Amino acid sequence: MAMLFKNISILAGIRSADKPAKPLRGKDLAELPVIKNAFLLTEGDRIAAFGPMTEAPANIPPGQCIDATGRILMPAWCDSHTHLVFAASRENEFIDKIRGLSYAEIAAKGGGILNSAARLNEMPEDKLFNLALQRLDETVKMGTGAIEIKSGYGLTVDGELKMLRVIKRLKQASGLTIKASFLGAHAYPPQFRDNHEGYLQLIEQEILPAIAREGLADFIDVFCEEGFFTQAETERICRAGQAYGLLPKIHANQLHLSGGVQAGVNVGALSVDHLETMDEAAIRCLAASSTIGTLLPTAAFFLRMPYQPARQLIDAGCIIALASDFNPGSSPSANMNLVVSMACIQLKMLPEEAINAATLNGAIAMGIGETHGSITIGKKASLILTRPVPSLAYLPYAFGSNLIERVMVAGEFT
């Protein structure tokens, strides 16, 4: 069915239909093309037309028209990094952190990822699916129209496959576009603590072939970090995934200068994510590549880490995306509105830069730039309609306020 948005105060994020989609880097990231006093027409699940109000079609029945006076219409958020499938929240560790323990100390005493893995392996698939679907519904209400979800809380053949099957079921159950990443290399499970080679071989020889047989993943991810996976191990696992057609998107330079950025660039990763800890060499390496640097400001916030050096990265010419890192340990929120606010407030990104990084560049960071992330004829009608607001900059400025009136996902209001 067609739907006409009329009298849109600001229609933001207008792009031509580039194939392949062109990521925004350097100064281009601050360009967010808009039309003021605009219309937009959807047809089925797609954007069919848009332009100035003077050119709006006159033949759409009133029941299919929405008056967007005073409001912004823009592409829905494209959240390219989440761990949305998990068994249980971890607020006990939150308290430990308030009392002074570090993320690494919590991990060392069996908390962190291994805690989540123990809980996940105990939980039946159906229960895990129902919990994840509920979280996904809440996420959509906050304006997310496409999302990447990782495994990595299984760390066993059965646990990893269970997580990826849950993600596959979410793809079928939800109107959202969902991409799946295999993150078996999230941590060494306890039974392989002194036998890293054994776990690497399990991933290469058992888990990856099983994933490929069932077509369960789009990407391969590794937590490249001190005490987790080295640069060499990261490159090895990425290449093993690539042999099965999985493109690398990795966790890099979160807590230390892990070599993760260099590993990602060496293997031609789609993205290297986190980047709290960067030096000149890592910035230059990323800027000279086509790998996207995905910044996760709410993870830095939650762990009280220094924020990602967004200005240096943008000024050096890196391609930047923003994502939520939604997970129970370091970012228990999937709120992309907050991510965008924090990117402006703490990372000193301009509102236009942050919105581009959380829409078009986010879409490209999960391989869906040709169908998502901008107002483009033929792209999915996955849109955010705001409440009446005075300007675009008001969205990140008024942090914590719910400024979303309606969310459309693939042509349907949620």
Stretch 313-352: interaction string toward Fe ion, x if CB under 5 A: ------------x---------------------------
Rounded to a whole number of angstroms, the minimum distance from the CB of residue 15 to Fe ion is: 28
How far is 45 from 61, CA to CA, in rounded Å?
Answer: 18
Cβ nearer to ligand NIG, comparing 155 with 316: 155
Binding residue for ligand NIG, selected from 35, 208, 299, 344, defined by CB under 6 A: 299
* Interacting partner of 112 out of Fe ion, ligand NIG, none (Cβ under 5 to 8 A depending on kind): ligand NIG
Cβ atoms of 330 and 323 closer than 8 Å: no
Cα pseudo-dihedral 168, 174, 180, 185, rounded to 10: -80
What is the distance, to the nearest Å, from the Cα of residue 175 to the centroid of all Cα atoms in its chain?
17
How far is 1 from 41, CA to CA, in rounded Å?
Answer: 10
How far is 279 from 208, CA to CA, in rounded Å?
Answer: 33
Cβ nearer to ligand NIG, comparing 277 with 327: 327
* Interacting partner of 116 out of ligand NIG, Fe ion, none (Cβ under 5 to 8 A depending on kind): ligand NIG
When asked if residue 230 is in the footprint of ligand NIG (CB under 6 A), the reply is no
How far is 12 from 222, CA to CA, in rounded Å?
Answer: 35
* Interacting partner of 113 out of ligand NIG, Fe ion, none (Cβ under 5 to 8 A depending on kind): ligand NIG
Site for ligand NIG in 239-298 (CB under 6 A): 251, 254
Rounded to a whole number of angstroms, the minimum distance from the CB of residue 385 to ligand NIG is: 31
When asked if residue 325 is in the footprint of ligand NIG (CB under 6 A), the reply is yes
Rounded to a whole number of angstroms, the minimum distance from the CB of residue 83 to ligand NIG is: 6
* Interacting partner of 184 out of ligand NIG, Fe ion, none (Cβ under 5 to 8 A depending on kind): none
**Residue 370 structure tokens:** 């040709």
Binding residue for ligand NIG, selected from 23, 75, 112, 154, defined by CB under 6 A: 112
Rounded to a whole number of angstroms, the minimum distance from the CB of residue 7 to ligand NIG is: 41
How far is 76 from 379, CA to CA, in rounded Å?
Answer: 12
End-to-end Cα, the chain, rounded Å = 15
Cα Rg for the chain, rounded, in angstroms? 21
* Interacting partner of 254 out of ligand NIG, Fe ion, none (Cβ under 5 to 8 A depending on kind): ligand NIG
Stretch 278-317: interaction string toward Fe ion, x if CB under 5 A: ----------------------------------------
Q: In what order do the strands lie in the sheet with 219-224?
A: 77-79, 144-150, 177-185, 219-224, 247-252, 271-274, 292-295, 319-322
Pairing mode, if any, of strands 177-185 and 219-224? Answer: parallel
Cβ nearer to ligand NIG, comparing 104 with 157: 104
Binding residue for ligand NIG, selected from 5, 199, 223, 326, defined by CB under 6 A: 223
Site for ligand NIG in 144-163 (CB under 6 A): none
Rounded to a whole number of angstroms, the minimum distance from the CB of residue 344 to Fe ion is: 22
- Count helices and strands in the chain by DSSP H and E runs: 16, 16
* Interacting partner of 236 out of Fe ion, ligand NIG, none (Cβ under 5 to 8 A depending on kind): none
How far is 315 from 359, CA to CA, in rounded Å?
Answer: 20
Q: Applying CB under 5 A, what is the total number of residues that bind Fe ion?
A: 1
DSSP secondary structure of 5-21: EEEEEEEE-B----SSP
Residues 6+ apart with CB under 8 A from 194: none
Q: Applying CB under 6 A, what is the total number of residues that bind ligand NIG?
A: 13
Burial tier of 145 (Cβ tally within 10 Å: 0-12, 13-18, 19+): buried
When asked if residue 79 is in the footprint of Fe ion (CB under 5 A), the reply is no
Rounded to a whole number of angstroms, the minimum distance from the CB of residue 312 to ligand NIG is: 21
> Judged by CB under 6 A, which stretch of 62-70, 108-116, 340-348, 393-401 contacts ligand NIG?
108-116
Residues 6+ apart with CB under 8 A from 364: 21, 23, 292, 319, 321, 373
Give me the residue whose beta carbon is nearest to ligand NIG. 329
Instruction: Return residues touching Fe ion (CB under 5 A).
Output: 325
